[in-house]
Structure 1
Amino acid sequence: MTGAARKFFILALLYAIGGMLLGLYMGLSQDHSQMPVHAHAMVLGWLMSGFFAFFYHFFPEIGRSRLANVHFWLTTASGLILLVSLFFVLSGNIGLEPVTGISSMAFFACFLLFAWIARPVFSRAA
């Protein structure tokens, strides 16, 4: 694995470790108030980053592109800000709700960027 594929795969593993640690903490403490953070880490972090990694691995010419690298860094930044701000919002710091909202929209924009990056694959299949 090289390029964006490798970066997204490492990111997916980090999200999985963090999400599982949070899940273990919630289970052991019987405090499940951070369940949305756990779910976001596992779905947006582990699953989506893993999917991006395998996409870029199967299409290495796309994965080596400058746009794939931009996709990685924007997705990483918006995802981490989303999770950290959501953690603090759920801990009672509602002043960070705008940060959570903006980072959620940025993460969605990153997915739209991925759809744009992946569009040549669909035209090849036709």
Structure 2
Amino acid sequence: MQGVARNFFTLAIIYSLCGMALGIHMAISQDHGQMPTHAHTMVAGWLMSAVFAFFYHLFPAVAHKRLAAIHFWLTAISGIGLLIGLYILLAGNPAIEPLLGISSLAFYAGMLLFAFIALPAIWRS
């Protein structure tokens, strides 16, 4: 695995470790108030990043394009903002909502970009 595929898979592993640590923390503390953050970390972070990694690994010609790098950075930065913002919001700080909203929209834009990149590649093959 190389390039953007390796970057996405590395990010997926980091998300997995953070999500699992949050899950363990909630279990030990018996405070499950961060369950939405845990779920977003595991699905939007771990699962989606792993799927992106394997897509780019299976379609290396697409992975070398500039749009793939833009997709990685847009998804990585907005995903981290989304998860940190969600954690802060659920900890009782509603002032973070503007950052959370911007991060959510940027993360969605990353998924739209992935659709723009992936659909032609899979239908061409």
Q: Report the 3-state secondary structure (helix = DSSP H, G, I; strand = E; otherwise coil) of the residue aligned with 1:33.
A: coil
Q: Which residue of 1 aligns with 2:95?
A: 95
Q: Secondary structure, in 3 states, of the residue corresponding to 1:31?
A: coil
Q: Distance in 1 between matches of 2:63 and 2:122?
A: 16
Residue 66 (structure 1) shift:
1.0
Residue deviations 1:102-121, cap 9 Å, x none? 11111001000000011222
Report the TM-score, using the length of structure 1 for normalisation. Answer: 0.96
Aligned residue pairs: how many?
A: 125
C-alpha displacement at 1:65, in angstroms? Answer: 1.2
Cα deviations by residue, 1:62-121 (Å, 9 ceiling, x for unpaired): 111111011000100000000001111101110011211111111001000000011222
CA distance in 2, matches of 1:63, 1:124: 15
Post-superposition offset of 1:4: 0.7
Structure 2 counterpart of 1:70, one-letter code: I
Unmatched segments (≥5 aa) in structure 1: none
**What amino acid does structure 1 have at the position aligned with 2:84?**
V
Q: What is the letter of the counterpart of residue 70 of structure 2?
A: V
CA root-mean-square deviation? 0.9
Q: Specify the code of the residue in structure 1 equivalent to 2:82.
A: L
SS of 1:113 mapped into structure 2 = helix
Pair 1:9-2:9 in alignment = yes
1:47: which partner in 2?
A: 47
Equivalent AA in structure 1 for residue 61 of structure 2:
E
- Partner SS state of residue 4, structure 1: helix
Question: Which aligned runs of 4 or more in structure 1 are off by greater than 4 angstroms?
Answer: none
Paired-residue identity, %? 58
Distance 1:11 1:65 in 2: 19
Q: TM-score, normalised by structure 2?
A: 0.97
